[in-house]
Amino acid sequence: MATFVLVPGGWKGAWAFESVVPLLEHAGHTVHALTLTGLSPDDDATVATANLDTHADDVLRHLEERHITDATLVGHSYGGMVITAVADRAGDRVSRLVHLDAFVPRHGESCWSASNGHFRKLFAAGAAATGFSVSPPDGGDPRRRPHPLGAFLQAIRLTGAFAEVPRREFVYCSGWEDRTPFAELRLRLQADPGWQVHDLPTGHDAMHEDPGAVAALLLDDVARAPVDPEPCGRVVGRMNRVPEVDSSVSTRP
Tens digits of residue pLDDT in 66-114: 999 999 999 999 999 999 999 999 999 999 999 999 999 999 999 999 9
Distance between CA atoms of 120 and 235, rounded to whole angstroms?
A: 34
The region, left, alpha or beta by phi > 0 then psi within -120 to 50, assigned to residue 8 is beta
Predicted model pTM: 0.88
The structural domains of the chain, ordered by start, are 3-248 (3.40.50.1820)
Give how far Cα 142 sits from Cα of 41, 119, 170, 174, 182, Å. Answer: 12, 19, 28, 25, 25
Point out the catalytic residue in the list 77, 110, 115, 247: 77
**Active-site residue, 248 included:** no
Contact between 172 and 203 under an 8 Å Cβ cutoff? The reply is no
Q: What is the radius of gyration, based on Cα positions, of the chain?
A: 17
Q: What is the pLDDT of residues 160-198, one digit of tens each?
A: 999 999 999 999 999 999 999 999 999 999 999 999 999
